[in-house]
Structures are given as C-alpha cells and as structure tokens.
C-alpha cells in the first residue's frame, strides 16, 4: 500500500529543484522501498505465571515493551518508520540515517492484549510503503483478548455415557445458570469434564467453584488433607483473608484441549476466557468459599479482616479480568457446618456488612471499567438456616440469591430419610418439622416474608442424587419412613463421595429392572429404590424440574440454577429450559409435558378413575392414550382421553396394576408417564392426621379470631369432613364450624381466660379423629407481650408470649437475635425466657453447675437435685453429676 502524505511539500520541493537546474531521481514521485519485518518474539503476555504454585508469583503488568526488528536493503530511503497493529499506527520514529540500506529495532509499548497483524511502514515526502511481510503478534491478557472463540465439545463422544444436550432459545429472559467445579478435570472412569464440554449456549451464567480464602481453614484440612497441603504452598507469602485458587494447576497451569505448555495462561481459566469470546453475553462468576472452604467467613466480624478480604476480591477481579462479579458461597452463616466449632449469632450481621462492602467495591470497579459486576450468594434454604440472617436487608446489595433447595436430606442421617430436593412439603413424617419445611416453596415463603423480592431468587436444581443403602421398605408405607445402614455406593457408580450419585448414573439405573422408580406427587420429588440392596436415591427428574419451573413462573422468581454441570448427561439442563417454556433453538418441536397422576389403592370390584394432565410448550394439538403395562388385565374405558377408568379385578392377595399415559403432539413429540394402582380385597384405612393449629393468644373482644385446620392431612387422599366445637371456656358462637377454617368473636374478659376448641375430622363419615387448640383471651390494655406469630420477623430484644400447656400459664420470651419461624422454647437459643418459672428436668436441656431441678423417677418418687458440674442428658437420681437435696 502506498500513499502521499504531503502533496504540497512534494510539489514545492520539485519546483525548487527545477528552478535550481538540479535534476535527481528524487524529482520523481518515489515512495520508500518496502521494508520487511525481521525475526522477533511473537508471543508476549501481560501476566506472568511461573512453574511456582505460589499465587504471589502471579504478576500482572500494566504494560509490556515489544521489540520489533525490520530492515530494507534496496529502494528509496524512508524518513520515518511506523509500526502498525491491525492497520493502526502504534509507534513512529524519525530516521537519522536516510540511505538506501536501512534497518532498526523499534519498541512498542502495549497495555492491551490481543492477536494482532503486525506490519512495518516506511514513509518519506513521496508516500509510505508497507512491509513486504507481516507477523502475527500475540499479547496475552486476562480478558482473553488474544484467544479465538473456544471450540466446543458438547455431547463429546468420548464420554462412557450418551450425552443428550439440546439447544434452546431463552424466550423468557429467566436466569438459567449452573455451577462448574474446578476439580471436574480430574474425574476418572472417562468422566473428566472440561469447560469446552459445558453446553454454555444454554446458560446465562456459569458460577465457577471454588476460590479459597487464606487463613483459618480447619475444615479444608480435615475434609481434604492433600488439597490443604497444596494450598499451603499456594498461599505462601500471602496474608490471611486473601483470595487464592486452591488448585492453580487446574485453574491456569494445566494444558487442556488445544492448549500447549508454552501458552502463558492455560487450564480452566484460559478456556473460560475463550468461552466468553464465543458467548459474549455469558456471565462467568467465581464462587468464593463452599462447604469446606468457608471457615474464614466466620472470622469476618472483625472489620480489618473483612476489609482485607474485600480488597483481595478487588485485586482478584483486576488480575483476572474475564470475571463478571463475585459469588459468596458462605452456605451456613450462624450455624456450624463443616466445622462444628464455628457459627455465631454475630454471623447474620457480618453477612450483611460483607454484602454491603462488596457491593461498594464492585460499584467502584464498575465505574472504572464501565461494567456491572454481579454480587450473588448461594445459601442453604432450610427454615433453621434462614432465620440466622436478615436476607431482606442483605438483598439490598445483591443481584441474586442462589437458593440451595437441595441437600435437605442425605446419608449423614441414617434414621431420618427424606427428599433431598423437594419442591413442596412432604406428608410421610408429619411430626418432623424438617419433612414439612425443608422444601423450595417454604424457602421462598420465608425469604419473601423477610422482604426478599421473588425477582432476586433463583431456585436450585440438583444434577445429582443423595442416597442411602440398607433401607427396608414395608408395603403400604412411604419408602422414606425406613431407616438406612449407610450411604449408597452402587458398584457401577461413577466415583463420588459415598451417598452422592451423578445424575448421569441415575439416568441409566432408572431403566434397569432391579431399580424401581417412584414419584412423590405431594412433595414433587423423585426417587429410585432397589429392593435387593435397599438402596434409595433421592434426585431431580423431569417431573420435579417441571414443578420447579412452574413455581418460578407462577411466583415470579428470577430463574433456575443447578449444581453441578459435570454430573449431568444433558437431561436436567434440557428439562430446566422446557420447564420455563423455552423452545428448541433449531425450531424443532418440544415434546409435551405429562403427569399420569398419583399412585392409588383400590378394593376388588370398585371403579378406579385414572386422571392425567398434559401441556405442550408449542400449543400443539395432542392426542392421548392410556395402556396397561402390568398386573391382571382389565378393560379400560375412554382410554383415548385424559381420563380413563376400569373395574378393579378380583384378587386373593394384593396385586399392582401399572398403566402408562402417552401424549403425542403429532410432530414427533411423544411423552409418557406411569401410575400404579394397588388392588386388594380390603383397603386398610390410614387415619387422617388432624391439626387444629397452634395455640394462640388474643385480646379481649377480638373479632373474627381464626381457627385454622388447613394443616390437616390424609395420606390416602380421602375426602374429609370437618367439625369445630368448643369444649371449654366462656361460650362463643363459631362461624363456619363445618369448614377447614372457622372463626369466633372473643368474649370480653377482665382476667385472662382459656377457650379450648376441638376439631373433629372424619374420612369415612363414621370414625372421628380429633385435635384441640387453646386460645388464651387477655384483658384489653394488658401489659402482656403480644402472642408469638410464626409469620412475623422478630428483632433482637422483641418480646412475645406463648401459653404453656404443661405449666398452664402464659410465658414471656425475648428474642436473642433476629429470628422468624422458630417457636419460643427453652430448647431454642434464639429465645430467652423472661417469666420466672421452673420446669422439671428434661433430657434435651443443658444445665450449668449449681442448677436445681425437680425430677420424678419411673416409680413416681420425686426429689430435688442440684447439678455439681455442667451436664446434659444425665438423669437425676441415676447419674453422679446430680446431688439429691
């Protein structure tokens, strides 16, 4: 390429030469001869990573100097030399030796990475000439500017299982996120999983776990001694409470894919940078902490420690510029987790301060770079974990809360089994609060009540199962009511910790004859059971993911996320999109979503109704078909509609009849679901579980006091009748006495009075089952604290009252810290009893030295005892710690 940069100067010069009678070759318009780019180092980096594991040795430079050699041996001389990157001049120098033969070494200072076409240009007054050759100059940075878009290997054929990922269009704008684990590159049995295996086109966010924090890490040491030893080398030279990758080899040192040892940045980090180049709108966020790496968070009530941490997060974002924010994975603030010695009432306030200070730092960085950095946090959403933090305050500084609506139950408890990722309350162990409240829906309720808007909540999906072995099942009972002998670890399972199973395995087992598939339509939870070994595995399947997606849409949640992407075969992520109504990206048809209804029990000779539901994301017209797949043959009526029926056959022993419901959208989308009907000569009735609600307190003359029996359940699904009646206290008129919820107007009283009401429930119109509730009516203007209300959030120092049936009196309690949903009791550290009252000895109460109690033994011999030292669980009269007075 040639051009004349100064035509006026050239014309003037030639005129002067002619007027002087001078004629030389320069009188002709001749630009310089073409230079050539000489040998030079073409690979440079703004970040220095050595073979050292020490993270302090990772150095980011503000700029680098690149020497560029060039030469020209023939042709007209150049007067200036320019260095161009992608056609733009980045350096220029006036040449002092203007001769036919010219050469030099230019220094180019670069502060921006990239993959550049480098050329040299010589210029004089007659024009400029580009070099006869070019070089490809690579300057690595941590944005990934030097990298090509990542070649993807989704559904890689090398995996020992079939991968089923499809492509979807996110038509709702909902978040569809997944956690990616750093250690997945080490998986054995052919399941090693890399960033290029992630179906990132189907994700809005990848949350990369985990980044560690230096300092006190007892959990890390006990859970992963080898990893902890490595981290000591990584963190050498760093102060406490600073960030560092726990495994630099996997993060940025190990060559993967088409990377080579000579690349300045390798491993997962380099692949994530290239992934961002393929999907620029994808958010990639580092997750800090995790189960065994969260210990340092518990020490951050100290302002200085917290400041060090926040500034280290700032440095981490500046060092690795491809990140889009910070995810805090402090899962259990306020309670012991991996480290049983940690957990403090201060943690709730610390969490809020941490979010506020991180938000301020991220906003400062955003002002510097012009980007919005997201702040998210993964939290356990059990009722007994949520009450430790005022998330309604914390969310003011956050973009999203990742609701870990999984890990509710697992093999850490062999006696109380349950759905590890239930959507709604379970009904098989109603006396266990965990069974009723460990579920996604209740978690949303609690967080909404704290003031967290649904639009900032992302519901969790499990791409793995939690399982037990040795579970004995009694016919007619729920499998989850059994007890286990240990964690499930089937011989053909991909290697994970015992009791944790990849969904990729579960998908295979579901189709094997020695495994039974079950779906709890009450809790919306799937599980497999293998009778031969007693293995029981709770997990998310298409039905439960559909239920979660429906809840997201109905309640306005931000979306869905999953843990963890490398344990899925593609099914779960596909279902996440389908549950939100997202169509396939190639315009192909989306199969219908169907539900064949709940399993049933029936008596021989009775008419059994089968009722299914079906929906289609494309609104295609569907055809239906019921068919029997097992058990004594029966004749189905109206088998081509949503509703079918048959007469239960005569049997001598209980028989199971299985039926399949199929929906076909006429475009290749066919989906089936199954239901089981157990037929016997006589059905044993399961009595309803009557719940008249919690005792309550009201003020004299209160209007429309509610009696609520809506927590009553019937496991057989029988139609129930309700009757409310008064059994004690001043007579009142009950409104809607035959409804689930009734009411009455409280009498006018001058002293506290108790009214007792009974709720009678029948499931057959004959037998009646009863529960009672006590309503205490206090005089108007009473100084008594207001009655405790589970829907109210209480701050430190708030006072409430409850009525104690054992003591037959009202008790006053004071909140020790922010709390909601935890009923005051002497077994709760959230509440302090203010009423001067003495309880008899209890096995679950801890007693300090000098405490005195009354206790009656099994023979009704009563005495008073004094504790000689701290004790819990030791019965007075049988243990030496108690001295009889």
Question: Strand 852-856's sheet: what is its strand order?
Answer: 852-856, 862-867, 882-884
DSSP string, 273-301: HHHHHH-TT-EEEEEEE-TTT-GGGGGTT
What does the DSSP 8-state code read for residue 648?
Answer: P
414 contacts 485 by C-beta, under 8 angstroms: yes
Specify the DSSP element, H or E, that contains 9. helix 7-19
- What is the C-alpha separation between 198 and 150, in angstroms, rounded? 11
Q: How far apart are CA 176 and CA 170, in angstroms?
A: 9
Q: Which residues pair with 487 in a beta bridge?
A: 468
Inter-residue contact 230 to 248 (CB < 8 Å): no
Structure tokens at 167: 């492509």
Does 331 participate in catalysis according to the annotation?
yes
Q: Could you give phi then psi for residue 167, rounded to 5 degrees?
A: -110, 135
- If you search the block for the tokens 């009411």, which residue do you land on? 743
- How many Å apart are CA 286 and CA 324, to the nearest integer? 8
Beta bridge partners of 756: 728, 774
* Whole-angstrom distance, CA of residue 94 vs CA of residue 80: 4
CA 311, CA 102: separation in Å to the nearest integer?
51
- For residue 431, count other CB atoms closer than 10 A to its CB: 7
Q: How far lies 489's CA from each of 443, 475, 486, 514, 521, in Å? A: 30, 24, 9, 15, 26
Q: What is the 3-state secondary structure (H, E, C) of 95-137?
A: CCCCCCCEEEEEEEEECCCEEEEEEEEEEECCEEEECCCCEEE
SS3 430: coil
Q: How many CB atoms lie within 10 A of CB 89?
A: 11
The whole-angstrom separation of Cα 705 and Cα 736 is 12
Exposure string for 472-493, b = 16+ CB within 10 A, e = fewer: ebeeeebbbebebeebbbbeeb
How many CA atoms within 13 Å lie on the side-chain side of 777? 22
**CB burial string 805-830: b at 16+ within 10 A, e below:** eeeeebbbbbbebbbbbbebeeebeb
Give residues with Cβ within 8 angstroms of 579, minimum separation 6. 545, 546, 547, 548, 549, 550, 552, 560, 593
Helix, strand or coil for residue 479? helix
Q: How far apart are CA 363 and CA 815, in angstroms?
A: 35
Q: Which two tokens stand for residue 81?
A: 């030399």
Report which of 98, 105, 135, 104 is spatially closest to residue 117, judged by C-alpha positions.
Answer: 135
Number of neighbouring beta carbons within 10 Å of residue 4: 16
Q: Which of 242, 331, 437, 564 is catalytic?
A: 331
Residues carrying an active site annotation: 331
């Amino acid at each position: 390429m040639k051009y004349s940069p100064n035509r006026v100067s050239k014309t003037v010069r030639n005129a002067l030469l002619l007027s002087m009678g001078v004629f030389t070759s320069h009188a002709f318009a001749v630009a310089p001869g073409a230079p050539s780019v000489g040998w030079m180092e073409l690979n440079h980096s703004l970040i220095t990573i050595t073979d050292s594991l020490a993270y302090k040795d990772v150095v980011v430079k503000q700029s680098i100097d690149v020497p560029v050699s060039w030469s020209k041996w023939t042709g007209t001389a150049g007067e200036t030399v320019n260095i161009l990157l992608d056609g733009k001049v980045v350096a220029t120098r006036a040449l002092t030796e203007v001769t036919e033969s010219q050469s030099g070494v230019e220094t180019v200072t670069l502060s921006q990475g990239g993959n550049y076409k480098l050329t040299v240009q010589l210029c004089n007054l007659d024009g400029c000439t580009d070099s006869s050759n070019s070089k490809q100059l690579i300057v690595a940075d941590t944005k990934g500017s030097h990298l090509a878009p990542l070649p993807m290997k989704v559904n890689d054929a090398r995996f020992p299982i079939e991968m089923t990922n499809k492509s979807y269009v996110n038509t709702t704008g909902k978040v569809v996120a997944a956690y990616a684990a750093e250690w997945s590159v080490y998986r054995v049995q052919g399941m090693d999983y890399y960033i290029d295996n992630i179906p990132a086109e189907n994700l809005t966010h990848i949350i990369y776990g985990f980044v560690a924090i230096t300092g006190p890490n007892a959990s890390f040491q006990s859970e992963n001694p080898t990893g902890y030893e490595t981290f000591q080398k990584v963190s050498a030279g760093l102060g406490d409470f600073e960030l560092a990758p726990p495994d630099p080899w996997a993060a940025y040192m190990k060559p993967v894919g088409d990377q080579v040892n000579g690349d300045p940045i390798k491993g997962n980090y380099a692949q994530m940078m290239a992934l961002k180049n393929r999907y620029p709108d994808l958010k990639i966020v580092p997750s800090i902490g995790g189960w065994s790496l969260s210990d340092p968070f518990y020490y951050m009530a100290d302002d200085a420690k917290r400041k060090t941490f926040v500034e280290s997060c700032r440095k981490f974002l500046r060092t690795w510029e491809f990140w889009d924010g910070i995810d805090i994975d402090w899962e259990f603030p306020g309670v012991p987790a991996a480290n049983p010695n940690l957990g403090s009432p201060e943690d709730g306030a610390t969490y809020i301060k941490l979010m506020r200070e991180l938000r301020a730092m991220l906003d400062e960085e955003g002002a510097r770079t012009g980007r919005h950095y997201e702040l998210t946090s993964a939290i356990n959403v059990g009722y007994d974990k949520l009450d430790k933090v005022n998330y309604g305050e914390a969310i003011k500084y956050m973009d999203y809360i990742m609701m870990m609506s999984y890990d509710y139950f697992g093999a850490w408890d062999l006696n109380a089994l349950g759905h590890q990722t239930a959507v709604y309350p379970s009904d098989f162990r109603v006396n266990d609060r965990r069974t009723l409240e460990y579920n996604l829906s209740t978690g949303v309720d609690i967080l909404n009540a704290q003031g967290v808007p649904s639009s900032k909540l992302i519901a969790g999906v499990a791409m793995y199962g939690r399982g037990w072995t040795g579970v004995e099942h009694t016919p007619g009972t729920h499998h989850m009511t059994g007890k286990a002998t240990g964690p499930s670890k089937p011989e053909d399972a991909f290697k994970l910790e015992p009791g944790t199973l990849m969904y990729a395995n579960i998908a295979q087992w579901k189709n094997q004859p020695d495994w039974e598939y079950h779906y709890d339509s009450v809790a919306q939870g799937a599980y497999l059971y293998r009778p031969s070994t007693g293995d029981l595995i709770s997990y998310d399947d298409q039905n439960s993911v559909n239920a979660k997606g429906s809840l997201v849409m109905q309640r306005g949640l931000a979306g869905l996320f999953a843990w963890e992407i490398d344990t899925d075969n593609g099914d779960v992520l596909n279902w996440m999109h389908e549950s939100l109504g997202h169509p396939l990206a190639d315009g192909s048809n989306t199969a219908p979503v169907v539900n064949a209804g709940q399993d049933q029990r029936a008596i021989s000779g009775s008419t059994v109704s089968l009722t299914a539901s079906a929906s289609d994301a494309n609104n295609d017209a569907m055809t239906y078909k019921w068919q029997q797949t097992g058990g004594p043959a029966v004749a189905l009526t109206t088998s081509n509609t949503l509703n079918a029926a048959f007469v239960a056959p005569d049997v001598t022993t209980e028989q199971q009849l299985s039926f399949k419901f199929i929906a076909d959208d006429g475009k290749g989308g066919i989906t089936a679901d199954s239901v089981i009907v157990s037929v016997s000569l006589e059905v044993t009735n399961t009595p309803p579980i009557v719940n008249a609600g919690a005792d309550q307190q009201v003020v004299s003359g209160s209007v429309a006091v509610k009696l609520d029996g809506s927590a009553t359940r019937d496991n057989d699904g029988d139609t129930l009748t309700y009757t409310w009646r008064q059994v004690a206290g001043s007579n009142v008129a009950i409104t809607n006495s035959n409804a689930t919820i009734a009411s009455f107007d409280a009498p006018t009283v001058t002293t506290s009075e108790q009214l007792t009401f009974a709720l009678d429930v029948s499931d057959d119109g004959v037998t009646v089952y009863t529960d009672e509730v006590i309503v205490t009516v206090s005089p108007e203007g009473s100084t008594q604290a207001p009655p405790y209300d589970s829907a109210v959030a209480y701050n430190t120092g708030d006072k409430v009252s409850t009525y104690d049936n054992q003591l037959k009196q009202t008790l006053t309690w004071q909140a020790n810290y922010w709390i909601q949903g935890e009923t005051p009791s002497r077994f709760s550290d959230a509440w302090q009893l203010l009423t001067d009252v003495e309880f008899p000895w209890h096995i679950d109460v801890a007693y300090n030295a000098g405490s005195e109690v009354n206790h009656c033994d099994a023979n009704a011999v009563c005495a008073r005892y004094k504790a000689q030292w701290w004790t819990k669980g030791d019965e007075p009269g049988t243990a030496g710690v108690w001295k009889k007075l």
